[in-house]
Amino acid sequence: MTVQEKGCFSGEHPADELLSAYADGELGPDGMAEVAMHLRTCVACRRRLEEWQRLGQAAQAAVGLKTWPEEVFRRELSDRLMAEARRPQGRLPVGLRPRRVRPKSAAVAAAIMLLLAGAGLGWARSSYDRYVEQEAGYLVREHQAVRLGVMGTAEFATYGGTSGAEYGDATHDSFGGKQ
């Protein structure tokens, strides 16, 4: 960028835009030399530049950003990329690095899962066994009911989805149709 592109001196002093470009290193070698020569002799422009630089640093500190001149930024970026390229494959910065699942912890997790599944199955089996054991007693009573010949009546209380309440309970003195 040249002094002409950024605007020339307004009178004896460089325009604000030109001084800003100087501060950011955006001028070409001639422009930089020209503005630097002026600053050596002009106290007012030096103060103006210092003031901008101070404000710029304060702004950077306020927003936490680092603003670099383009070339500096490119150099910095290039350096970082090179550093990344030299880093072992797949390795990410510590903050971004995912937690690695180590074989040992995977085995522990699998063992815990197996233990839990086994315990669950064991519990279900023992629960089933207990149920079947209790059921056996009930079934033996059903056999006795069959032997007694009252199975048909016992059925209503235990099977068929028909609740006894549906039939109500009434004293009826005789057969001979519904009452």
Partner 1 sequence: MLRPALMRVTKTAPVLAVLALAALVILGAKAHAAADADQDAFRMYQNSFEPKAAFSGVLRITGRDVALEVEVRGLDGMSRYIFHSGGKTVDVLRGGGKIIVKVGPRNVSVEVPSFLDFTDTTDLIMRNYSASIAGRDIVGGRPARKIEMTPLRPGRPDRVVWIDEATGIQLRRDDYRYDGSLIERRELVKLNVVATPDKAEAERWRQALLDPDLDDSLAARLMAPKFHQFRPGPPLAQFFPSRVPEGYVLIGARLAGQPRGPVRHFVWTDGIGVISAFVREVPWWARRPQPVTVRPDGGVELESDGLRLLLVGDATPEELTDMAASFLRKR
Binding residues (CB under 8 A) for partner 1: these are: 121, 124-125, 128-129, 131-132, 135-136, 139-144, 146-162, 164, 167-172, 174-179
- Residue 101 or 165 having the CB closest to partner 1: 165
Backbone angles phi, psi at 84, to 5 degrees: -65, -40
- Residue 57 or 144 having the CB closest to partner 1: 144
Closest of 59, 67, 66, 61 to residue 24, by C-alpha: 67
Distance between CA atoms of 163 and 177, rounded to whole angstroms?
22
Closest of 60, 56, 44, 52 to residue 17, by C-alpha: 52
- Residue 64 or 137 having the CB closest to partner 1: 137
Rounded to the nearest whole angstrom, what is the least distance from the CB of residue 94 to partner 1 in the complex? 46
Rounded to the nearest whole angstrom, what is the least distance from the CB of residue 119 to partner 1 in the complex? 13
Tokens of 97: 């690095």
Rounded to the nearest whole angstrom, what is the least distance from the CB of residue 171 to partner 1 in the complex? 7
Rounded to the nearest whole angstrom, what is the least distance from the CB of residue 170 to partner 1 in the complex? 4
- Residue 1 or 154 having the CB closest to partner 1: 154
Q: Residue 9's beta-bridge partner residues?
A: 14
Under DSSP, the state recorded for 98 is: P
